[in-house]
């Protein structure tokens, strides 16, 4: 699904707000449920229509790096990999970011080899990064990150902290592939930096760059989730007898959520739990998280939060239905647009004005859901024990609370696994790769400070990483 869910929130309408005179003409859990849940769960699609961008530093100093065998080889690998698709190429030089009119790798290689392109040292790194982070496209930036301001080298100021933070706050990540080289007797670095939005560019270039570089992932979500279900149609329910009467043909597994329609009400589920607690100490298992990547953060604690989402999702579903089923319209005797007499859907008639426009009073407003007590919690011993054995394969199990007391009105429960504590890994030795001493003997820590301050500001706490929906009778 390509629709941005936050944008959708602004457009959707809520029918029957305050009561309806007619029965709804649709089922919130009926056709289109997968797409509806995708939007409701704030799942963003990895499909991006924007053209990826390539930004190349053409400052005089970096010309020496491009001549080294390793860097030159990696440039060729990158160009041959990414320029097979449509790409926009930009040149950084003379304090400007300008389009470079090339259409193939041969032309780009000629531009790299053309010594007249390296006129000065004024490559506007900050302008380039701001341009990248203002968009939502994948981008590759090749630079040494040496920024100059009024002919003075920026050596201490965290000049990229704001655009880095802006990009990560949008749920995206930045991946640095760092190659060491020498400029005379000075130790320097060149950075092949991927601004990752869709994972497409990263997946293409990472195998090419990783063997010859140090990789650092600047990300608030440098973890991966996976499932290992014996029966994919049964999901992660921790019982092989189907005592909960899962409607397997209606089960949905999204990218970051799962939907479980059960054929029982909560009273019966509570009774089963009491009768066979040994079989139902856990309700969900076989969800695993890889926490081995600690470049940016050390992820320390998770918890489970449960919400009654019944009313909120119903309102959202009505809004979604109304938006995608506009009324039939016709022209009145004076040429005005009006709802056709053929339109009979009571929900549509309730939510649209006579001229076919959506009523302002019907706009959808998401509720602030309050966590429920005595439902479910994280199986902490399982998490701790699997963490000790393999931090690449830690199990996130959800267990019944020992005071499990569900309410009959909880038709749809939303169960979130939430990251509650993460520590910026500012002691990571890889961060030394973002420092250097320039030709005058002055330490340059501006890029290091940009990354460190980004990590300190964007601590990913109280962040939902996975969701289970349970629908009962």
Specify whether the CB–CB gap between 444 and 329 falls below 8 A.
Answer: no
Residue 361, pLDDT score: 65
**Per-residue pLDDT reduced to its tens digit, 434-459:** 999 998 999 999 999 999 999 999 98
Weakest mean pLDDT among 123-127, 331-335, 433-437: 331-335
Tens of pLDDT, residue by residue over 33-54, are: 999 999 998 744 444 556 889 9
Mean predicted lDDT score pLDDT of the chain: 89
Q: Using pLDDT thresholds of 50, 70 and 90, give the confidence band for residue 1.
A: very low
Q: What is the pLDDT of residues 256-286, one digit of tens each?
A: 999 999 999 999 999 988 888 777 889 999 9
Q: What pTM was computed for the model?
A: 0.87
The predicted structure's pLDDT at residue 288: 98
Q: Which of 118-132, 223-237, 300-314, 331-345 has the lowest mean pLDDT?
A: 331-345
* Mean pLDDT calculated for residue range 90-112: 91
Q: What percent of the chain has pLDDT over 90?
A: 64
What is the mean predicted confidence (pLDDT) over 119-145? 94
Tell me: pLDDT of 175 over 70: yes
Task: Quote the pLDDT of residue 23.
Answer: 47
């Amino acid at each position: 699904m390509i629709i941005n869910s936050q944008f959708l929130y602004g457009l959707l309408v809520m029918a029957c707000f305050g009561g309806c005179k007619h029965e709804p003409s649709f089922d919130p859990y009926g056709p289109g449920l997968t797409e509806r849940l995708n939007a409701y769960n704030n799942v963003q699609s990895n499909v991006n229509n924007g053209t990826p961008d390539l930004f190349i530093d053409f400052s005089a100093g970096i010309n020496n790096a491009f001549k080294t065998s390793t860097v030159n080889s990696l440039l060729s690998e990158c160009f041959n990999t990414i320029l097979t698709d449509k790409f926009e190429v930009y040149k950084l030089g003379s304090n400007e970011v300008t389009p470079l009119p090339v259409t193939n790798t041969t032309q780009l290689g000629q531009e790299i080899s053309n010594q007249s392109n390296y006129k000065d040292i004024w490559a506007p790194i900050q302008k380039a990064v701001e341009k990248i982070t203002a968009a939502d496209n994948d981008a590759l930036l090749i630079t040494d990150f040496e920024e100059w301001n009024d002919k003075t080298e920026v050596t201490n100021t965290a000049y990229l902290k704001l655009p880095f933070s802006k990009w990560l706050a949008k749920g995206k990540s930045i991946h640095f592939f760092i190659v060491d080289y020498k400029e005379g007797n000075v130790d320097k670095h060149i950075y092949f930096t991927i601004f990752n939005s869709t994972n497409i560019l990263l997946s293409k270039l990472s195998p090419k760059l990783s063997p010859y570089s140090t990789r650092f992932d600047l990300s608030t979500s440098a973890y991966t989730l996976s499932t290992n279900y014996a029966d994919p149609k049964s999901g992660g329910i921790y019982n092989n007898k189907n005592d909960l009467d899962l409607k397997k043909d209606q089960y949905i597994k999204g990218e970051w959520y799962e939907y479980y329609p059960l054929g029982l009400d909560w009273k019966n589920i509570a009774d089963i739990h009491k009768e066979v607690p040994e079989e139902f100490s856990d309700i969900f298992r076989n969800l695993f998280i890889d926490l081995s990547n600690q470049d940016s953060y050390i992820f320390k604690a998770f918890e489970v939060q449960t919400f009654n989402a019944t009313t909120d999702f119903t309102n959202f579903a009505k809004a979604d239905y109304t938006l995608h089923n506009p009324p039939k319209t016709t022209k009145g005797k004076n040429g005005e647009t009006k709802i056709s007499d053929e339109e009979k859907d009571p929900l549509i008639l309730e939510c649209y004005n006579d001229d076919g426009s959506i009523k302002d009073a019907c706009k959808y407003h998401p509720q602030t859901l309050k966590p429920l007590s005595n439902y479910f919690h994280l199986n902490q011993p399982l998490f701790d024990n699997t963490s000790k054995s393999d931090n690449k394969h830690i199990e996130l199990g959800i267990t019944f609370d020992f005071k499990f007391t569900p309410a009959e009105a909880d038709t749809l429960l939303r169960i979130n696994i939430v990251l509650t504590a993460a520590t910026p890994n500012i002691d990571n030795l890889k961060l030394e790769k973002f420092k250097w001493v320039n030709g005058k003997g002055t330490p340059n820590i501006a890029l290091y400070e940009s990354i460190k301050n980004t990590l300190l500001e964007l601590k990913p706490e109280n962040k939902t990483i996975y969701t289970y929906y349970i629908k009962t009778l």
